[in-house]
Amino acid sequence: MNFKTKSIILILMAQLCAINLFSAEINTDLGTTFEFAEKDIAELMRSQALNNKDKLQKKYDEYRQDYKNKLDNIGPKIANKPTPAYRDNEFYIDSTYTNPRDIRDHRGVLLYPKGFRFNPLSYIKIPYKVVFIDGTRKNELQWVLDNNLTNSTGIRILLTDGKYRVAKKFFNHHVFFATDEIIKKFGVLHTPSIAEQVGQKMLIKEYLVKIDGNNTIDESKYPSLIIDLLEENKKNQFIAPQEKINFNDLNITKEFNNIIKGDDK
């Protein structure tokens, strides 16, 4: 080890010793401490909520009423609604599908060419009948009951119009919604209709249902679905229905937060 290297090592050791000598004094000087001037955020929010409880209650009531209105008006949205059947009738629907374009795999190998035709009913069996009814017509709802169509697991009831709340209460049974695509696929033109698979085709039967007196549904006789949900929640764990409500347009969270923060106008 040469003289220059030894000198550098000695200088470094001397500096380390100096730091150790003064470290006790340095560590004891922590500076001045102060109490937090800001209020606890949880206490601040609690205070704001108490001071604005009337506004919060009003906003909650508006939110609940809006939710109730949306829930009670859930129903199918169909552009071309089937009309009432004017006679008993039946016909078959050919479910054969024609491929509109070439279908290739990831290597570009042609699997199914454009124009390829196949019938899904050659490969599957629909295990139930599908009943299409207009839920705004009292005679069609009663027709379902008169034919015991709610007492079979082999039946699916689809509304083409009307409110889920009314039909569910009328039947004391769950119902489903038809869509434009379903209406088109099954070739439903009139209601009530029953669709069932016969071999490799769908058989559609239309039924003429006579009107006896007033055919209008009195919706006031059928209470809000929100009552059912509250009762169900008491009995067991709440399970959300298939028909989901979109809350994105309510802006409730933002409004509540603004009230709590005191930013509301």
Q: What is the pLDDT of residues 5-40, one digit of tens each?
A: 656 665 666 555 555 544 545 555 566 777 777 777
pLDDT tens profile 38-87: 777 777 777 777 778 788 788 888 888 888 888 788 889 999 899 999 99
CA distances from 7 to 17, 18, 20, 39 (A): 16, 17, 20, 58
Percent of the chain with pLDDT over 70: 72
CA distance 4 to 227: 92
Walk me through the domains of the chain, giving residue ranges and CATH numbers. Answer: 83-233 (3.40.30)
Q: Is the pLDDT of residue 105 over 50?
A: yes
What does pTM read for this prediction?
0.64
pLDDT classification of 196: cutoffs 50, 70, 90: very high
Q: Which of 36-40, 182-186, 210-214 has the lowest mean pLDDT?
A: 36-40
Q: What is the DSSP letter of 228?
A: H
pLDDT classification of 242: cutoffs 50, 70, 90: very low
State mean pLDDT over 198-209. 94
CA distance 232 to 238: 7
Contact 92, 197 (CB under 8 A): no
Q: Which of 2-16, 107-121, 158-172, 217-231 has the lowest mean pLDDT?
A: 2-16
- Cβ contacts of 239-245, under 8 Å, gap ≥ 24: 243/74, 243/164, 243/177, 245/67, 245/70, 245/71, 245/74
Contacts of 49 by beta carbon, 8 Å cutoff, 6+ apart: 56, 260
Strands of the sheet with 201-206, listed across from one edge: 89-93, 201-206, 193-198, 129-134, 155-161, 176-177
Reduced to 3 states, what is the DSSP secondary structure of residue 202? strand
pLDDT tens profile 248-263: 444 445 555 555 455 5
Tokens of 237: 């764990």
